[in-house]
Structure 1
Amino acid sequence: MIGLSYYPWWLEGKPDYTLSIDDLAANMNNISKRYGKEVMVVEVGGEDNQAQNTYDMLVAVQQKVKEVPNGKGLGVIYWEPQGARSWSRYPLSAWGDDGRPTKALDAFLVDLTTSSFGTDSG
């Protein structure tokens, strides 16, 4: 298996994941085909104060992983979702200052077989 990181926040145009999501998909498809391996996004994160954008990005990432040919896209792991900025100073968590998960994590509840991605709330 090959694990990839995807942090659009660090890219120019942040936090607009739509500028790079197709590049992520092309990279996963290329790597999977080239090396004959399964791929997984093992690190992903979005800005904690942009919960809807992070939600949309996570659904899109999961969709792109699912679309890797031959079932070789295995899944997505959010890096440090509980690291609220208020105490950790980490800006890419999925936790609010209220000590609760934000809407962003609801993206992992979306059934990608029946739902269009984007602003679907699961």
Structure 2
Amino acid sequence: MIGLSYYPYWLEGNPDYTLSIADLGQNMKDMAARYGKEVMVVEVGGEDTKVQNTYDMLVAVQKQVKAVPDRKGLGVIYWEPQGARSWSKYGLSAWGADGKPTKALDAFLIK
């Protein structure tokens, strides 16, 4: 299996995931075909202050994983979703200031 990280937040110039999501999909398709291995996004995260954007990004990432031919796209793992900024200072979690998961994690309920 090949594991990929995807953090639009860290992209230089413009962290808008819509500008790089197709590249993620192409990379996964290329690696699956080139190496004959399954692929998985093993690290992903979005800004905790932009809940809807993070939700939308997670839905888009899952669609790209599902689009890998021959069922070689295996899944998505959110890195440190419970790392609330209030105690961890990590701004890419999916936890709110109220100590509860944000709507962003609902993206994992979509089938």
Scaled to the shorter chain, the TM-score interval is: over 0.9
For structure 2, list consecutive stretches of 5 or more residues without a partner in the other structure.
none
Query: Secondary structure of the equivalent of 1:96?
Result: coil
Q: Within 1, Cα distance between the matches of 2:29 and 2:86?
A: 37
Q: Within 1, Cα distance between the matches of 2:97 and 2:84?
A: 6
Match of 2:31 in 1: 31
Equivalent residues, number: 110
Q: Give every structure 1 segment of 4 or more consecutive aligned residues whose post-TM-superposition deviation is greater than 4 Å.
A: none
Match of 1:84 in 2: 84
Match of 1:95 in 2: 95
Q: Within 1, Cα distance between the matches of 2:85 and 2:4?
A: 24
Q: Within 2, Cα distance between the matches of 1:18 and 1:106?
A: 19
**Cα deviation code 1:28-77 (max 9, x no counterpart):** 00000000000000000000000000000000000000000000000000
For structure 1, list consecutive stretches of 5 or more residues without a partner in the other structure.
112-122
Deviation at 1:89, TM superposition (A): 0.5
Q: CA-atom RMSD, angstroms?
A: 0.5
Q: Within 1, Cα distance between the matches of 2:20 and 2:29?
A: 14
Q: Within 2, Cα distance between the matches of 1:55 and 1:110?
A: 11
Query: Secondary structure of the equivalent of 1:5?
Result: strand
Match of 2:6 in 1: 6
Give the letter for the 1:103 counterpart. K
Query: Secondary structure of the equivalent of 2:81?
Result: coil
Query: Secondary structure of the equivalent of 1:30?
Result: helix
Query: Secondary structure of the equivalent of 2:80?
Result: coil
Query: Secondary structure of the equivalent of 2:87?
Result: helix
- Identity, % of aligned pairs? 77
Q: Within 1, Cα distance between the matches of 2:95 and 2:49?
A: 9
Q: Within 2, Cα distance between the matches of 1:66 and 1:26?
A: 12
Higher helix share: 2
